[in-house]
């Protein structure tokens, strides 16, 4: 067999696992050795608490103060076209009636106080994927998360697809959160008589037309500040995230104490007004509040003891967030009847509304505002951090330009990737309002969960003797359950989300075909 050649001098230990470049897998040992390259080595400063805080920072945003009421009260809306219908609805209606006439009408029955059960069941569903991430993270302690795991288990084409997919997930998610942060900050400042001009604090382009605004400065500014922090160093960034996590956990605990004193047990009846169906549909709404624990694995190369601490960070963040979600839902639905949160201010900010309506003190209401803001900021910080590490890993594997894997000599961070990630998110945040595209983040995350779960099964078969500090129990059943659950949740997304997702993947495949595959270590002349 002739030696493979590339457009750059190949490593001496390049080993092809397939004659077809698309299915060549990268050696785990080679991945680990490349991470020790002095020119591209990242600083190892993170311990188990910092990793757990990264997970909590990503999972708990403002959603805990907003989405609980929506899921409890249920939703009723009419999709304007087939593109806004859920894929699962289309399939079910077609199988039942041979057509799609009924898919334009959508509704989600109220879960009521049983939303606490929904949060618990969704946590169990996420835990299957979380266990798979924990095993691979302990085996392959390399930056890149699902991208790197796919390269080691499924092949180059799958690695490219999931890497390109993760970029979409992080960019869209943070653009939406940054815009939300701007709107929330503007509203809170106005309550104190400080009114930001609309021309400098609202999107320039929204719902297909120009708004007359010039630029959304608060949205861009928060991304810029976090980018500077991330370039300065992971230790500084992790310490800032630790503080923000403590603030928002404190805000939640204060709500549990203050709100607990205002609970009226009669509001918990009926506990499940729509039966188990309401519990399931409530779970579909709140599932996406758990997305983010996978970002812990992007910190693998900056963990002091990744084999031990990464599984701790992933699993502990899921447990802590589950307890907080269940606690908030029980107290909130005990304070006011679930039907209160169906529309208006009660739907948009249920926790703040309940405290104000029941006469809670001004300071406790202010704490909730601070908790919501820090929740958004810490979520932005973690996802900006994870995004830069994905680009860094893909560049080190030669699938992205070399500059993306450059490491700052003083700060030992991928500074170019971090700055580019900052502008890729910051500029759209200052111009667009893309809340209708937020589900792109959800479909991207679920797709990553599926491939990671599949990777665990494959590595158990192909490399059964490789040391595993953490093991998923009952393989292949637990990973298969994760694949089925995540695949099922993907069908609950709308047709337009699937269309956008496919278009993004096609764009990525074109870049791979005409650029990345020619630079890969597995490429031949």
Q: Residue ranges of the domains in the chain?
A: 22-28+38-74+109-466+475-519
Average pLDDT value for residue range 87-114 = 71
pLDDT by residue (tens digit) across 493-509? 778 889 999 999 999 99
Q: Is the pLDDT of residue 242 over 90?
A: yes
Task: Check whether the bond before 308 is cis (ω within 30° of 0).
Answer: no
Find tokens 């009924």 and name the residue: 102
Q: Are 64 and 322 in contact (CB under 8 A)?
A: no
Q: How far apart are CA 282 and CA 74, in angstroms?
A: 7
Find tokens 């500074």 and name the residue: 415
pLDDT attached to residue 162: 92
Which tokens go with 187? Answer: 């509203």
pLDDT attached to residue 60: 87
Which tokens go with 333? Answer: 């639905």
Question: Cβ atoms within 10 A of the Cβ of 103, count?
Answer: 21
For the chain, the distance separating the N- and C-terminal CA atoms, rounded to the nearest angstrom, is: 14
- The H or E element that residue 106 is part of is strand 105-108
Beta bridge partners of 329: none
Average pLDDT value for residue range 461-482 = 91
Query: What is the pLDDT confidence band of residue 224, given thresholds at 50, 70 and 90?
Result: very high
CA distances from 130 to 120, 344, 450, 483 (A): 15, 36, 11, 12
- The H or E element that residue 383 is part of is helix 362-396
What's the longest Cα–Cα distance across the chain? 78
DSSP class of residue 104 equals T
Q: Please tell me the pTM assigned to this model.
A: 0.86
Q: Percent of the chain at pLDDT above 70?
A: 92
Query: What is the pLDDT confidence band of residue 7, given thresholds at 50, 70 and 90?
Result: very low
Q: Is the pLDDT of residue 1 over 60?
A: no
Instruction: Count the helix, strand and coil residues of the chain and give each as a percent rounded to the nearest 5.
Output: 70, 5, 25
Q: How far apart are CA 151 and CA 426, in angstroms?
A: 30
Question: Cβ atoms within 10 A of the Cβ of 368, count?
Answer: 24
Task: Check whether the bond before 127 is cis (ω within 30° of 0).
Answer: no
Q: How far apart are CA 53 and CA 400, in angstroms?
A: 30
Average pLDDT value for residue range 388-405 = 92
Q: What is the CATH number of domain 22-28+38-74+109-466+475-519?
A: 1.20.1740.10
Question: Cβ atoms within 10 A of the Cβ of 74, count?
Answer: 22
pLDDT by residue (tens digit) across 46-58? 999 999 999 999 8
Q: How far apart are CA 220 and CA 427, in angstroms?
A: 6
pLDDT by residue (tens digit) across 436-462? 667 788 888 889 999 999 999 999 998
**CA 282 centroid distance within chain:** 19
- The H or E element that residue 105 is part of is strand 105-108
Q: Are 186 and 201 in contact (CB under 8 A)?
A: yes
Find tokens 């278009």 and name the residue: 503
pLDDT attached to residue 108: 66
Query: What is the pLDDT confidence band of residue 435, given thresholds at 50, 70 and 90?
Result: low
Contacts of 112 (CB under 8 A, 6+ apart): 72, 270, 271, 272, 273, 274, 278, 333, 338
Query: What is the pLDDT confidence band of residue 11, given thresholds at 50, 70 and 90?
Result: very low
**Exposed, middle or buried, 123 (CB in 10 Å: 0-12/13-18/19+)?**
buried
Least confident of 92-106, 114-128, 172-186, 463-477: 92-106
Q: Are 130 and 453 in contact (CB under 8 A)?
A: no
Average pLDDT value for residue range 264-283 = 87
Question: Is 136 in a helix, a strand, or coil?
Answer: helix
pLDDT attached to residue 84: 66
Contacts of 268 (CB under 8 A, 6+ apart): 113, 333, 334
Q: How far apart are CA 313 and CA 522, in angstroms?
A: 34
Residue 124 C-beta-side C-alpha neighbours within 13 Å: 8
Q: How far apart are CA 218 and CA 457, in angstroms?
A: 45
Q: Is the pLDDT of residue 12 over 60?
A: no
pLDDT by residue (tens digit) across 143-168? 888 999 999 999 999 999 999 999 98
pLDDT attached to residue 127: 92
Average pLDDT value for residue range 358-363 = 86
**CA 402 centroid distance within chain:** 26
Q: Percent of the chain at pLDDT above 90?
A: 44
Average per-residue pLDDT for the chain? 86
pLDDT attached to residue 157: 94
Question: Is 78 in a helix, a strand, or coil?
Answer: strand
Q: Are 337 and 267 in contact (CB under 8 A)?
A: yes
Q: How far apart are CA 32 and CA 53, in angstroms?
A: 25
Determine phi and psi for 28, rounding to 5 degrees.
-65, -40
pLDDT attached to residue 4: 41
């Amino acid at each position: 067999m002739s030696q493979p050649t590339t457009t750059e001098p190949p490593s001496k230990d390049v080993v092809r696992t397939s004659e077809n470049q698309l299915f060549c897998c990268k050696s785990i040992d080679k991945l680990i050795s490349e991470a020790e390259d002095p020119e591209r080595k990242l600083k190892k400063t993170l311990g188990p608490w910092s990793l757990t805080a990264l997970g909590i920072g990503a999972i708990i945003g403002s959603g805990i103060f907003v989405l609980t009421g929506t899921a409890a009260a249920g939703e009723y809306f009419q999709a304007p076209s087939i593109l806004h219908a859920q894929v699962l609805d289309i399939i079910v209606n077609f199988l039942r009636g041979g057509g799609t006439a009924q898919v334009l009408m959508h509704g989600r029955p109220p879960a009521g106080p049983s939303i606490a059960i929904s949060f618990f069941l969704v946590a169990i569903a996420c835990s299957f994927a979380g266990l798979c991430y924990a095993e691979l993270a302990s085996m392959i302690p390399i930056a890149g998360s699902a991208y790197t795991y796919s390269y080691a288990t499924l092949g180059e084409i799958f690695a490219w697809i999931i890497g390109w997919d993760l970029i979409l997930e992080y960019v869209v998610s943070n653009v939406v959160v940054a815009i939300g942060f701007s709107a929330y900050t503007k509203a809170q400042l106005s309550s104190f008589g400080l009114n930001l001009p609309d021309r400098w604090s609202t999107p320039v382009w929204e719902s297909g037309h120009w708004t007359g605004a010039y630029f959304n400065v608060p949205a861009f500014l928060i991304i810029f500040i976090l980018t500077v922090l991330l370039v300065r160093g992971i230790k500084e960034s992790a310490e800032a995230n630790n503080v923000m996590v403590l603030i928002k956990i404190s805000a939640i605990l204060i709500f549990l104490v203050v709100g607990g004193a205002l609970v009226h047990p009669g509001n918990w009846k009926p506990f499940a007004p729509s039966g188990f169906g309401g519990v399931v549909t409530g779970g579909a709404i709140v599932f996406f509040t758990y997305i983010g624990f996978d970002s812990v694995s992007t910190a693998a190369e900056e963990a002091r003891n990744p084999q031990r601490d990464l599984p701790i960070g992933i699993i502990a963040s899921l447990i802590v967030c589950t307890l907080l979600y269940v606690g908030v839902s029980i107290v909130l639905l005990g304070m006011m009847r679930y039907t209160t949160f169906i529309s208006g201010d009660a739907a948009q900010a249920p926790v703040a509304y309940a405290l104000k309506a029941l006469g809670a003190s001004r300071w406790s209401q202010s704490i909730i505002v601070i908790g919501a803001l820090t929740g958004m900021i810490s979520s932005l910080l973690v996802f900006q951090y994870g995004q830069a590490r994905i680009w860094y890993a893909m560049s080190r594997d030669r699938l992205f330009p070399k500059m993306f894997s450059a490491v700052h000599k003083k700060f030992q961070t991928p500074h170019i990737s971090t700055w580019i990630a900052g502008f890729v998110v910051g500029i759209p945040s200052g111009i667009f309002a893309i809340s209708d595209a937020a589900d792109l983040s959800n479909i991207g995350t679920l797709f990553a969960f599926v491939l990671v779960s599949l990777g665990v099964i494959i590595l158990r078969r192909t490399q059964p003797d490789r040391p595993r500090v953490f093991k998923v129990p009952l393989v292949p059943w637990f990973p298969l359950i994760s694949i089925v659950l995540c695949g099922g949740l993907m069908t609950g997304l709308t047709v337009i989300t699937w269309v956008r997702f496919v278009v993004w993947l096609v764009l990525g495949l074109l870049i791979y075909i005409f650029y990345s595959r020619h630079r890969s270590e597995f490429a031949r002349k």
